[in-house]
Chain A
């Protein structure tokens, strides 16, 4: 379903080159659930951005569902994100001036769904994460856990092929974090969704079928020795 071939990403900070990814390769099959671990600054979030078509690699290719995503127009790439890729971030990333249901409905709007349908689907998605009584609340009126559940509802509402979660429990207490992880993993069990989770939490990683380690911009299968089972 997802293929990363020799993907590198270099940033420039002033005149200093920063190699966030150094020839990372990865093959992910449909409905796989993968945890990506690694120290801060190792390139985990950059990898997720590459897979989510949010950032262009300096070199290498990224193929999703058979499409080389950087060979198509921005319009098509945006549509791909709106229809098939769900995102959950550590800092929730909700739009502060929009109520919960409108936040959830945003990807539907960009996917070309009519207003009536997207409101109905957004409310259903919020109900699925237990927030049916928070539909019209602004993000500032919600707790951290509720905000993250709104973010999950936003990613679920499009029935994504691929869910990318970047430290989804990082800002939450352990109990709320566990609930959130349950809700994310439910997506894989109940449907067709492939999940990539970036996490520091071993409990979360242990719930995933496959674990990858990110070190100095390169991917390694966990817990095998570095380099021997790089994919």
Chain B
């Protein structure tokens, strides 16, 4: 019995504690993530200063004003350099990509390096804080000299001194350039922009002589494509006015912070989403904390009346209620904050942001306590307005003094927030996943493909490397890798069906860990772990193989002949093609690796990542592991959605794995609030329930009577929330450059949220009401 009493006494307080803990958790992390993104941006900007302006020769929409078709001319450059408020000015030509090499191409004895070059004016290195590791900076008018990046030096010259050495740039002719300096490593870090990330820097006036390939169809013969101006920090307004006076206001001038900030937009948007979710949660929790306090008072009016009758002052009642609610909310806030701090390493990996705490967190904490105080103050004030005489006599309270007045509307509002949070987050993650799927033709977004190294692609003078299944087994041990499907080409022919050769490449496959077959199964099934391990003679064929050789029949169950052994086809699979291999997935015939001994083709691994890992770090670990296993060979190749769209996928994973949980939490907290209200109403009306039961209402009818009110409330809230949710999604899809197309699953989630909120909010009170014995309830309390 005492346990029951304890639960009754503590249930609301625990809900308040949990609600505020959730809010503190969400808000602490959201603020800390925001701090991290801002810090990363500041770290990038700090060395070059905040008064650096980028002056491109194009408009915001990318088009070019006619006068700048050839870029900025020397006259304009000099005019701006002399203008008031301009401390320093530099410029750069368009960036071009090509191959750099040393040695003799005609003899085949050469090393090459694929990279980018740019022509720069004086002061470029100083303005961008690019220091030298070796040598000196090139001078304007010096001709064929260059400063190069360290990676190029390591690739082409290994450990030899590069200063004074010559590299060749391959375009439609060979241009020789002498290296005069080597840049120190650029400490850009994980979050840096690659705007200075070129391999070869030559004087801007030498660029026209290089006649490089021109990817943008623009002339490189004259002009600077971008200028960079440092304005006088004591009077930045004059500097900015000078820039606009000289170049006109038709081009897209912005300061370095604004320009680099663009690259952080997606990170900021995710942080913003987390912040909005946390604030939504705060809103819901505050409403619910207040509502719970009010329902507690509504149930305790008799006791309040008696206390007042025997001498308790109004102030005492108010303080008692206020302190009770505030202390539980404050405890929840502290617990949530502590849990959030413990969760930081995990979230850093998930979001790919640094998570940092500062004064904003303290402000957030104080704001939460303030909200808790507001949530507690409303019940406290209402408690003192209850007329003692009515409370003692158990006479129904008038509307204007009833503690629960307006609570239903507030809880409906919190329910709207909860449901719209679920719908919008589900819809947004669906849209982003669809966008990534569209780009990667159905390959799971957390997939990587790994293959042996290719010296030409890597730009190294090392032998190519080949992977083996043992390498894949070693990779499967890396944290964050769920499993690997290894495939190895056996031969391009030699599979017979009805004594006729089949067109298709034979592959042997093996699974390491919890592997995932990328693509989709069109018919039959995939081989089981046991079939793969035990040498069972089964085969899975690609879609084109199936269509070509079994145009009118189902290939599943048919038998093919491979080197005299019979294999049964068990499935047709739509296997994607990786750029790292020659065979298209649709032409593959796959058999368990354990059924054949001979292998001579390249081995490829389809890696399935855990969605909560940092993709970039995992790719590095994969590379390190394979380089260690294949020293003095070309480094391995890694590609796939996870590697190519790291930022987008981090966004999707952040939304899917973090925001979904937060939105469900919001829904849960709002359902708690509804539950508290309906519970309170059911308890207050228990005698009426007894009368209805006495007069013939069945338990089912009583249940439905209570539940339908909850369902009606959540349905109205759900309809409004759905509209709000979709409106939010239509805005957010633009942030991520995606298109919004409606899906039925969102409706299902909407209905599911309504039902979940109704069940949690009304189901438990309805069950409680239905289970009351009529004899017990009819004797109880007021009507």
Listed in ascending order, the chain A residues whose CB lies under 8 Å from chain B are 12, 14-15, 45-46, 49, 52, 54-56, 74-75, 78-79, 81-83, 87, 89, 93-96, 106-107, 110-111, 154
A141 to chain B, nearest CB (A): 14
Q: Does B778 contact A (CB under 8 A)?
A: yes
Pick from B396, B694, B697, B773: contact of A87, CB under 8 Å: B694
Q: List 22 A-B contacts (CB under 8 A).
A: A45-B779, A46-B775, A54-B693, A54-B694, A55-B774, A55-B775, A75-B699, A75-B700, A78-B696, A78-B699, A78-B701, A79-B698, A81-B696, A83-B696, A87-B695, A93-B691, A93-B783, A106-B692, A107-B696, A110-B695, A110-B698, A111-B696
Pick from B696, B774, B779: contact of A110, CB under 8 Å: B696
Q: CB-nearest residue of chain B relative to A15?
A: B1
Please report the C-alpha to C-alpha distance between residue A96 and residue B688 in the assembled complex, in whole angstroms. 9
Listed in ascending order, the chain B residues whose CB lies under 8 Å from chain A are 1, 396, 687-688, 690-701, 773-776, 778-779, 783
Residues of B within 8 A of A110 (CB): 692, 695-698, 701
A157 to chain B, nearest CB (A): 10
A54–B773 touching, CB < 8 Å: yes
Please report the C-alpha to C-alpha distance between residue A43 and residue B773 in the assembled complex, in whole angstroms. 17
Please report the C-alpha to C-alpha distance between residue A49 and residue B774 in the assembled complex, in whole angstroms. 9
B775 to chain A, nearest CB (A): 4
Residues of A within 8 A of B778 (CB): 54, 89, 93
B692–A75 touching, CB < 8 Å: no
Pick from B687, B688, B697, B776: contact of A78, CB under 8 Å: B697
Given A14-B1, A75-B700, A95-B688; A52-B694 close (CB under 8 Å) = yes
Please report the C-alpha to C-alpha distance between residue A124 and residue B456 in the assembled complex, in whole angstroms. 101
Known: A79-B696, A94-B783. 7 other contacts (CB 8 A): A55-B776, A83-B696, A93-B691, A95-B688, A106-B691, A106-B696, A110-B695
Q: CB-nearest residue of chain A relative to B702?
A: A78
Residues of A within 8 A of B694 (CB): 52, 54, 81, 87, 93
* Total A-B pairs, Cβ < 8 A: 71
A49–B775 touching, CB < 8 Å: yes
Decide if the interface of chain B is mainly helix, strand, loop or mixed.
Answer: helix
Residues of B within 8 A of A95 (CB): 688, 691-692, 783
Given A95-B783, A110-B701; A82-B695 close (CB under 8 Å) = yes
A106–B695 touching, CB < 8 Å: yes
B775–A54 touching, CB < 8 Å: yes
B773–A74 touching, CB < 8 Å: no
Please report the C-alpha to C-alpha distance between residue A93 and residue B686 in the assembled complex, in whole angstroms. 12
Residues of B within 8 A of A89 (CB): 778
Given A15-B1, A56-B773, A89-B778; A74-B696 close (CB under 8 Å) = no
Q: CB-nearest residue of chain A relative to B685?
A: A95
Given A14-B1, A95-B783, A96-B783; A74-B688 close (CB under 8 Å) = no
A96–B695 touching, CB < 8 Å: no
Q: CB-nearest residue of chain B relative to A13?
A: B1
B120 to chain A, nearest CB (A): 83
**Cβ-closest 3 pairs across A and B:** A82-B696, A110-B696, A55-B775
A79 to chain B, nearest CB (A): 7
Please report the C-alpha to C-alpha distance between residue A111 and residue B696 in the assembled complex, in whole angstroms. 7
Residues of A within 8 A of B688 (CB): 95
Residues of A within 8 A of B687 (CB): 93
Please report the C-alpha to C-alpha distance between residue A111 and residue B698 in the assembled complex, in whole angstroms. 10
Given A54-B774, A55-B775, A56-B773; A107-B695 close (CB under 8 Å) = yes
B8 to chain A, nearest CB (A): 15
A29 to chain B, nearest CB (A): 24
A87 to chain B, nearest CB (A): 5
Please report the C-alpha to C-alpha distance between residue A220 and residue B117 in the assembled complex, in whole angstroms. 112
Q: CB-nearest residue of chain A relative to B687?
A: A93
Residues of A within 8 A of B690 (CB): 93
Please report the C-alpha to C-alpha distance between residue A106 and residue B705 in the assembled complex, in whole angstroms. 14
A78–B698 touching, CB < 8 Å: yes
B775–A81 touching, CB < 8 Å: no
A78–B693 touching, CB < 8 Å: yes
Please report the C-alpha to C-alpha distance between residue A81 and residue B698 in the assembled complex, in whole angstroms. 10
Residues of A within 8 A of B699 (CB): 74-75, 78
